[in-house]
Amino acid sequence: MEMELWYTEKQTLDHGITTKIRRTLHHEKTEFQTLDVIETVQFGNMLVLDGMVMTTDVDEFVYHEMITHVAMNTHPNPEHVLVVGGGDGGAIREILKYPSVKTATLAEIDGKVIEASKTYFPKIAGALDDPRVKIEVVDGIKHVEENKGKYDVILVDSTEPVGPAVGLFQKPFYQSIFEALKEDGIMVAQTESPWFNRDLIRRVFKDISSLFPITRLYTASIPTYPSGLWSFTIGSKKYDPMEVDETRFHQVDTRYYHPRMHKALFQLPVFVQELITVERK
């Protein structure tokens, strides 16, 4: 009998996942967080930051497609796009599928995440070498404050709202994003699980609603994330993803998102819709 190794993540105080691993490929304490790469049997290589799964070979396509394409297909001509966080490069890879894109900027606070992703996740991070990509190892908050009116689309591809990412779930950051966007810009933030993070979703949706005229939420199935259901919140200055003309959608090569799904995404389960239904006075 060979020894079995299992990685167990407590996703809440009382619930988690456990997954069989072959070996640990990488472990380090960076300036900002603990960074592990493990080789799992079910999901291939898995990136773990501060004990939380960030991405895996097998299901990464869902998160990276879904944080990207809804906004990119809502904006009619995204040329300059920013990813805050997202050091694995997956969102950048999806952004580059649009011929309109002239620059895709990555503002990642932890350069070690970029390095580890290039080594252990070449299919995710490979696009970081594209000449349209600008990599800035910098606090995303600082970057958006210093780049007013510059971007068409901003994606907030953060870790969980603990440690280095706390500020990425706060209203002052969304205010800075609003200012970093052009007058018809659009933002998307990953906003955790509708099952386990209801208060956070309510608060973020309210904060973004107070800044942007159009605010929308949608979800996607990500098996290695808490509860398996993940939410994304859109703030848009001009274009409504529910009203966009589908005939001009760019046909992207994808495994989860497709243009006919775009508007269907906003028909949320009742218990999710209730989180974001603001009482009218």
Active site residue 207: no
Under the criterion CB under 8 A, does residue 20 sit at the interface with a copy of itself? yes
| 33 belongs to an annotated ligand binding site | yes
CB of 277 to a copy of itself, least distance (A): 12
By the rule CB under 8 A, 200 interacts with a copy of itself: no
Q: Identify whether the C-beta of residue 160 lies closer than 8 Å to the C-beta of residue 191.
A: no
Q: Is 63 exposed, middle or buried (0-12, 13-18, 19+ CB in 10 A)?
A: buried
Contact between 151 and 129 under an 8 Å Cβ cutoff? The reply is: no
Q: How far is the CB of 198 from a copy of itself (least distance, A)?
A: 12
Give the per-residue contact string, 217-256, with a copy of itself (x = CB under 8 A; - = no). Answer: --xxxxx---xxx------------------------xxx
Per rule CB under 8 A, is residue 138 in the interface with a copy of itself? no
Q: How far is CA 88 from CA 123, 182, 199, 206, in A?
A: 10, 26, 28, 29
User: Residue 28's Cα: distance from chain center in Å?
Assistant: 23
By beta-carbon proximity to a copy of itself, the closer residue of 9 and 130 is: 9
**Binding segment toward a copy of itself, per CB under 8 A, in 113-121, 198-206, 209-217, 259-267:** 259-267
- 191 annotated binding-site participant: no
Between 71 and 187, CB nearer to a copy of itself: 71
- Taking contact as CB under 8 A, which single stretch among the options 102-110, 130-138, 180-188, 215-223 is the one that binds a copy of itself? 215-223
Identified catalytic residue from 157, 207, 245, 253 = 157
Contact flag: residue 271 with a copy of itself (CB under 8 A): yes
Smallest CA-to-CA distance from 122 within 260, 222, 25 is with: 25
Distances (CA, A) of 55 to 43, 47, 62, 199: 9, 5, 10, 24
Which tokens belong to 173?
Answer: 């950051």
Q: What is the dihedral of CA 137, 141, 147, 148, to 10 degrees?
A: 170
Instruction: Tell me how many residues contact a copy of itself (CB under 8 A).
Output: 42
> Smaller CB distance to a copy of itself: residue 137 or 268?
268
Say what angle helices 198-211 and 171-180 make with each other, to 10 degrees.
40
Q: Known binder of ligand: residue 130? A: no
Q: Is 157 annotated as a binding residue?
A: yes
Residues 40-79 that bind a copy of itself (CB under 8 A): 40-43, 59, 61-62
Query: What residues make contact with a copy of itself under the rule CB under 8 A?
Result: 8, 12-20, 40-43, 59, 61-62, 195, 219-223, 227-229, 254-258, 260-261, 263-265, 267-271, 273
